[in-house]
Structure 1
Amino acid sequence: MPGASGGRIGNQRKGYRRIQVEQSGKRGRLTRLGRTLMRRRLVFSALYLLLAAAVILPAQSLLRDTLMFEQQQLINERLALYEQTIYGELQRYRTIPYLVAQSGLIHDLLRYRTPVLQANRYLEEAVRHSEADVIYIMDADGLTLASSNWRAPDNFIGGNFSFRAYFRDAMAGREGGQFAVGTTSRSPGYYISRPIELGEEVAGVAVVKINLTGIERSWQAHDEPVLVADQAGLIVMASRDAWRYRWLPGAGGGVVPPALEIPGAHVDEPPQLSLETIETGDYEIAVIDGEQFLSGSSWIEPLGWQLFYLSSLAPLNQRLDISLLIMIAAAVTVYLLIALLHERREKLRSRREAADAAELRAINGMLHTEIEERRRAEQELRAAEAELVQATKMAALGQISASVAHEINQPLAAMRTELASARLLIARGSQEDVADVLQQVEGLVQRMTVMTRELKNFARKSDGRAEPFDLNDSINNALLLLRGELTRASIQVYKALPNAPVEVLGEQVRLEQVTVNLVRNAIDAMKATQRRELRICVREESACAILAVEDSGSGIACDPRQLFEPFFTTKDSGAGMGLGLAIAERIVTAMGGSIGAENLPSGGARFTVTIPRRTS
């Protein structure tokens, strides 16, 4: 049909011209669209930068305040701890000079200068019992007559320490205390002195030297910057050797550099510790030798010493820098993700434009390609849906697999017991009793059949249909299953069940499983006890019935709530998987009830199950 062919060709030429016009218009629109998109990107980038700054800067400030607050709390705790440590360490030895000053042996030493050897041994024994560094006795001129370190080559005997402030205080009739570096031992320590009175006059001085280097070594072992300044501002204790025996202006109340006595030299003015304090709101920043610390101080009041605890800001600043980098990286990642999504959307739009042009040029090929793509997409979608269904079924089966093994194991155990009884009855020729046992086994088989049928369909969502049943029957059935175990365990069972039926709403087989689990747990709990009593009570209320299972076992040694967690068990290894009570809780909860546990005041445990009653 030539006419028809000519008409189709003419229509195709008109279509081609229309396509060319549309393509030309689209090129112009694309150019304008590109300029608009560029402006939008610039505006979006500027707004995003402002938003990121508005979020990151306050967050960084909040993080810094939080870290500074936590660090200050730690500083305050450490100050309180070390203040008590130093004061307590000195307080331990405060009574030693007083007790030594009361000794008749020491009084004889000051009167007659004998017996020196016995006095030395007496002081040596006092050091051994008190763990002091040195105890020694000086006469009124400051000459050391006896010392606990008399065996050492550098002992104090014969040394004159009248220049010490603690000697002058004791000679004035009061207790003395001074931190000093030993001129003989060359080791630092705190000296506590007491006057030795003979009659109305002070005849000598008893002194105990306390070595505080153990506290400093503890600070050094934990890398804690700590220093202690005395009343003159002299740093007498420090965790860093470079800080010790330097003057800290203003510390300890000292404003004038003190004279520092060091063995072999006398330094009129000790070197000053380079410390700069920066007040920043609620916190005090100390700069020592270029290193920044968060500072805190407290007074050791009885001594007049000032304790400083310094926490280096380097780790805190490092954490802040890392958090800033993380936040910036997160902001950049989000920006790139948004830009990527936007770019992807624009590419998709461009592809759609190109696809439209290609469709106008070759609509048949485009349609064919689109059909193939849709068919492939539908196949992938169906495959994905099938995999999702299979994964869901496998997940459900995995969750109930432990429950299947646990719930079927109990009736099987009862069946083994009943079948063993049947063998004995057959051997005795008790046919009627055998029939009863087989009937019970048939009931167990029927019960397992109901159970497995329900579990087999568990992959599908259960309708959760609840039916009324007598709670008393459910309890009696459970006890019947466990009759053999209760008898073998010599357990006395007490039941307090209402005479009339107690109709509750739920699934009877499921509740029997809960009861069996509770009773078997009670049997296990009473294995190691002499008194073995099991009490099962039912109490009726207006809207529910309450079942209580009590035993005389050892009770619950953990938090009762942990008992209902999956795989938690208090039994020995291999005696249980910890699933019984977790499954029981799910069963009771599915019936609209609840289950709980508690210890009894008289000993043992009580498990309480609440089940909704049947309503008219």
Structure 2
Amino acid sequence: MPDHQGNPWRVRVAILLLISIAVGVVWVTNSLLTERFTESTRNRAQVRMTLYAGNLISELQRASIVPQLLARDPTLIGALNSQDYSQSSQRLISYIDEIGAASLLLLDNTGRVVAASDRNLIGANHRSDAYFINAVRSNDTIFTVTKDDNGAIMFTYSRKMEYAGSPIGVIVVEVDLKQFQNSWAGISDAVFVSNSEGEILLATEPAWRGLHEEEALQLRSPSAAIQRSIQTTTDWVSLTTTANLLGSGVMRQEARIPFQGWKMTSFTTYASVRQRVNGVLALEIMGFAILLALTFFFLSRKAQVQSRFFQRESAELRQLNQRLQREIAEREKAEKSLQVAEQTLAQSSKLAALGEMSAAVSHELNQPLAAMKTYLAGARLLLRRKRPEEAVSSFQRIDDLIERMGAITKQLKSYARKGGDAFAPLDIRDAVNSALSMMEPQLKRRHVEITKTMPREAVMVLGDRVRVEQVIINLF
């Protein structure tokens, strides 16, 4: 079986390496695509600004011709000379759709509106307005930017009307430039047009109109598409920003409009850049995730195979263990049977030895019994002769003989008893003395003289007293 101890470490290193490669690839891809898509977005924004500026100039140039044509209109000149304006307003209304102007006004020499495409304006006096004053003072068409009473910015072309070299009125054409900012509002860019003084004239954000750029960017509540784009876009990376709008980096671009020092400024979000980059990164991450999932799948399959192998090995080991346990149980049973047999054999040996010693013990007991009989007869005689002191001495000798016989029978009974299995502390000197007392009658019969040399201190051992005495007896 191969060594599996190093496999977990190799697997972890491989997974970490795969994750590191994935992070590196995602990072490099993110950086390269961000740079590429940012440049592409910048180019598209520049093209849009060029198109917007061209449309704006085209509209201004087209509208600049209208006052010159209307100033020569014989119907309008006749109305100013005759002061009969009954058909003049209808005449102006008929021109609205043709020329695409926001409104047309016909003013007399006093600045009073005598005819208008919007009849509600008839009767109003504009003698103090710049487009009337400048037109009266000039022989050319005058472009003027003014604010009405509601703060709305108006873009007008005005021109003095003459008859026979004398001024008779002023024709005013309001240019419809708001149509452009309405079309600009449909994209994610924020666009505004400012004059030479930096005042914003047209803007996709209504709140910016009439302000300067710095003031407009400080507003916190723009409501157009630029805000929605910034709020809903997740910034994956740090992008090169050229301006800040609502605390978010945007791409600021500027283009000159060849008209009275105007310029167009756009703020382009990185929404499209992020979306395109995130799309590619999502595919890469998905690919690495699938690769990582496949890696874990194969590792799982391998782990399952190893698990089944280990289970088989474990089952075999359990079976082997069970066999060993059965063998151990059988051996323990055999050992117990052997111990019982040994104990039985030892008991039989003791009984055999006991039979051998019984003759010597009976001889030893017969002598005290004969002596006791003699002492009793002597004591009876002494008592009859009224000599009790001497009789007591005989009784004392009989008592000593009884104690000796008790010691002999006690040793015999102790030797015949089956020893236990429990060990206990004992003095080996007592065991030697007890064995010698047991063997004393047999030794005397054999005329054996015993010399004992015992230590003064106790010699303690841990064992069975009966077995120890048996060992000592077997030495004789």
Query: TM-score under structure 2 normalisation?
Result: 0.53
| 1:82 aligned to which of 43, 52, 69 | 52
Q: Distance in 2 between matches of 1:289 and 1:273?
A: 8
Say if 1:327 and 1:336 are closer, same or farther in 2 by CA, change over 3 A: same
The 8 Å contact of residues 131 and 156 in structure 2, kept in 1 or not, is answered as: no
Q: What are the superposed Cα offsets for residues 373-396 of structure 1, whole Å, 9 maximum, x if unpaired?
A: xxxxxxxxxxxxxxxxxxxxxxxx
SS of match in other structure, 1:162: coil
Q: Is the 8 A contact 1:176 1:194 kept in 2?
A: yes
Match of 2:137 in 1: 171
**Structure 1 residue 208: Cα displacement:** 0.5
Q: CA deviation at 1:58?
A: 0.7
Cα deviation, 1:350-376, whole Å, max 9, x if unaligned, reads 7668879999999xxxxxxxxxxxxxx
**Amino acid of the structure 2 residue aligned with 1:100:** L
Q: Report the counterpart of residue 301 of structure 1 in structure 2.
A: 258
Corresponding residue for residue 132 of structure 1: 101
Q: Is 2:243 aligned against 1:286?
A: yes
Counting only pairs closer than 5 Å after superposition, residues 237-248 of structure 1 correspond to structure 2 as 237-248=202-213
SS at 1:95 equivalent: helix
Q: Which position in structure 1 is the counterpart of 2:191? A: 226
Q: Give the whole-Å Cα distance in 2 for the aligned partners of 1:358 and 1:333.
A: 37
Residue identity opposite 2:181 in structure 1: E
Alignment partner, residue 603 of structure 1: none
Give the secondary structure class of the aligned counterpart of 1:304: coil
Q: Which amino acid is 2:291 matched to? A: V
Shift of 1:343: 4.6
Deviation sequence 1:81-105 (CA, Å, 0-9, x none) = 3222222223332211101222345
The residue type paired with residue 14 of structure 2 is: F
- The separation in 2 between residues aligned to 1:125 and 1:308, in whole angstroms, is 36
SS in 2 for 1:74: helix
Whichever residue aligns with residue 333 of structure 1, its letter is: I
Cα distance in 1 for partners of 2:171, 2:15 equals 81
SS at 1:64's partner residue?
A: helix
Q: Residue 170 and residue 86 in structure 1: after superposition, are their counterparts in 2 closer, same or farther (change >3 A)?
A: farther
Please name the residue that 1:160 is paired with.
126
Runs of 5+ unmatched residues, structure 1: 1-25, 250-270, 363-616
Separation in 2 of the partners of 1:356 and 1:150?
Answer: 100
Equivalent position amino acid for 1:305 in 2: W
Give the structure with higher Rg (CA). 2
The 8 Å contact of residues 158 and 171 in structure 2, kept in 1 or not, is answered as yes
Residue ranges of structure 2 left out of the alignment (5+ in a row) = 221-236, 320-476
Secondary structure of the corresponding residue to residue 233 of structure 1 = coil
What amino acid is aligned across from residue 151 of structure 1 in structure 2?
Answer: R
CA separation in 1, counterparts of 2:239 and 2:293? 40
Distance in 1 of aligned mates of 2:130 and 2:245: 32
CA distance in 2, matches of 1:318, 1:46: 29
Amino acid at match of 1:51: I
Q: d(CA) in 2 for partners of 1:235 and 1:171?
A: 27
- The 1:336/1:131 distance shift into structure 2, 3 A limit, reads closer
AA of the residue aligned to 2:10: R
- 1:273 matched to which residue of 2? 217
Partner of residue 213, structure 1: 178
Contact kept? 2:104, 2:173, Cα under 8 Å: yes
8 A Cα contact 2:93 2:117, kept in partner:
yes
Q: 1:40 Cα shift?
A: 1.7
TM-score relative to the length of structure 1? 0.42
Counterpart-to-counterpart distance in 2, 1:174 and 1:104: 19
What is the Cα-based RMSD across aligned positions, in Å?
4.0
8 Å contact kept, 1:275–1:287: no
Q: Distance in 2 between matches of 1:81 and 1:103?
A: 34
The answer as to whether partners of 1:225 and 1:238 remain within 8 angstroms in 2 is yes
The percentage of counterpart residues that share the same residue type is 21
Per the alignment, residue 181 of structure 1 pairs with 147
Instruction: Give the structure with the larger helix fraction.
Output: 2
Distance 1:242 1:125, change over 3 A: same
Contact 2:126 2:132 in 1 (8 A): no
Whole-Å separation in 1 of the counterparts to 2:95 and 2:165:
27
CA distance in 2, matches of 1:70, 1:335: 34
Q: Which has the higher contact order (CA 8 A, sep 6+)?
A: 2
State the Cα distance separating 1:201 from its structure 2 match. 6.6
- How far the C-alpha of 1:48 sits from its partner, in A, is 2.5
Q: What do the CA deviations read for 1:287-311 (whole angstroms, capped 9, x no partner)?
A: 3233543333322213432223333
Distance 1:294 1:49, change over 3 A: same
**Could you say which residue in structure 2 is the equivalent of 1:98?**
68
CA distance in 2, matches of 1:282, 1:172: 52
Separation of aligned partners in 1, 2:24 and 2:238: 23
How far apart, in 2, do the equivalents of 1:188 and 1:79 lie?
Answer: 22
Bigger mean CA deviation after superposition, 321-330 or 70-79: 321-330
Task: Report the Cα offset of residue 209 of structure 1.
Answer: 0.7
